[in-house]
Amino acid sequence: MQDLQHLRYQLMSQSNDTNRDEKEYKINLKSYQEQERYFQKILAQQSNPSFFSVYSQLYLDAINYKALNQAKFEQMKSMANTSDKKYVELIVYLQKLNANKSVDIASQEVIYSSLKPLLNAFDSKTQTSLLRYTALQMASLYPQNTPERALAKDYAQDYPNIISDIFKYADPYKLQNYFDSTNKTYLEQKILSTYLKNYNQNQLLGTLYMQNNDFNFAINELSRVKSSADFTSNYNPFNATISGNNRTGKSKHFTQLEFSKVMLELDTKIKNKTATPTDYYLYANGLYNKSWFGNFPMSSVSYRSVYFDAQKDKKVLDLSEAKKYYTMALNSSSDRELKATIEYQLLKIKYNEFASYSHTTSYDSGYSYSSSYWDDGFVQSLKSIAQKYPAFKADVNRYETQYKDTNYGKKAIKECATFRYF
């Protein structure tokens, strides 16, 4: 029955998920319904049911949102000994929880006043189960796209994510308001404290503000992080090299805070219309390097895999801002060496965009910077892009014609595999 309960929780979690795997959901739903009917049939056939048989029937009814069978409930109460009383209270609690339709503080505290003594009465496994069910119920009542809903749903999983998706791509302004709110319920406090064991709150918010290019707010949060805990890049995030991810060349360590301060300086110059072509170029490099493709992605996301999902990870895949400022640098510069460097970075952006367009579904078909990808798939990827996007081939050929006489162009043409296959 424990497995059946876990399956029920999984279905509850997926019920309002617009991104769920519909085929998997239908299979799980059918499996659950068949198992539940089987259990109910066995329980109903017992001529002299035990206390726990009656309790099991009422429990299954409760997690399926069925009204309380008062006759069975009275039967269970009459059979309960002293140690069984907590199960009677559990059924009462589940019915009260299911009937609740509000997330206001007062309504929730009424619920939790019944939950707290129950948690003390049961073992740790049952406590976890109770909290999961409660979190799922409350999650269904919170508005969409709120920290409360996302965290409650995640907390209720079989194995809650150490790196919650909400902490990867949350709206930092909403999340900060939630952190700062003093009107949290018992469950909200419990859930939040669980997750913040794995995170530094200021670093988390600073990272999300970096993701949103709000460098002023990022500095405000990151300056409160101990220097020993500050993320540090082994590469200069203002460098742009021949390699796709800019992880070559002379290294200069930058902390996340140092990076955000320089980005703010450049951003201020741009907004004040005092930026030079080099300022635009360095700013674009910073934007590129804090993306999934660059040398300091951990400056703007709490977790990065070598794989990406083009839908879920689009916030750190978007290179449109980098492209915008590279173009501004290009149009305002008369230095051919700088132009050769910028045009090469724009080629890299086009390649990354084409490659990511080709891999839009899942982990298995995702684009990767892992060694196996470059060893086994890079050439094939180049050939595929050449076939699908002839305009990219034309851009590569134009670059070679236009910049082969520059020092940077010569180096790029010699070292970059792209020029060998186009």
| The pLDDT of residue 96 | 95
Confidence at 377, pLDDT banded by 50, 70, 90: low
Q: What is the pLDDT of residues 291-322, one digit of tens each?
A: 999 999 999 998 777 777 777 788 889 999 99
Confidence at 138, pLDDT banded by 50, 70, 90: very high
The residue with greater pLDDT, 126 or 354, is 126
- What is the distance between the alpha carbons of residues 7 and 63, in angstroms, rounded to a whole number? 11
State the average pLDDT for the chain: 87
Tokens of 231: 């993320």
| The pLDDT of residue 248 | 73
| The pLDDT of residue 370 | 41
H helices of 239-377, in order, are 256-271, 277-289, 314-317, 320-332, 336-357, 371-372
Tokens of 122: 């049961």
The residue with greater pLDDT, 358 or 132, is 132
Across 383-402, average pLDDT: 82
Q: What is the pLDDT of residues 156-211, one digit of tens each?
A: 876 555 556 678 888 999 999 999 998 899 999 998 888 888 778 999 999 999 99
Q: Give the DSSP per-residue string, 166-229.
A: HHHH--HHHHHHHHH-S---HHHHHHHHHHTTS--HHHHHHHHHHHTT-HHHHHHHHTTS-GGG
| The pLDDT of residue 305 | 74
| The pLDDT of residue 355 | 72
| The pLDDT of residue 278 | 98
Exposed, middle or buried: residue 111 (CB in 10 Å: 0-12, 13-18, 19+)?
A: buried
The residue with greater pLDDT, 193 or 219, is 219
Confidence at 213, pLDDT banded by 50, 70, 90: very high
| The pLDDT of residue 141 | 92
Give buried/exposed letters for 273-285 (b at 16+ CB in 10 A, else e): eebebebbbbbbb
| The pLDDT of residue 306 | 73
Tokens of 261: 């301060």
Tokens of 117: 């003594």
Across 93-101, average pLDDT: 95
Q: What is the pLDDT of residues 245-269, one digit of tens each?
A: 888 766 678 999 999 999 999 999 9
| The pLDDT of residue 363 | 33
Whether pLDDT at 1 is above 70: no
Q: What is the pLDDT of residues 50-91, one digit of tens each?
A: 999 999 999 999 999 999 999 999 999 999 999 999 999 999
| The pLDDT of residue 183 | 87
Strands 254-255 and 232-233: antiparallel
Q: Which of 253, 180, 260, 173 is nearest to 218 (CA)?
A: 260
- What is the distance between the alpha carbons of residues 339 and 161, in angstroms, rounded to a whole number? 45
Q: Is the Cβ–Cβ distance between 244 and 352 less than 8 Å?
A: yes
Element spanning 254, H or E: strand 254-255
Window from 8-17, 82-91, 106-115, 236-245 with minimum mean pLDDT: 8-17
CA dihedral 299, 300, 305, 311 (to 10 degrees): -160
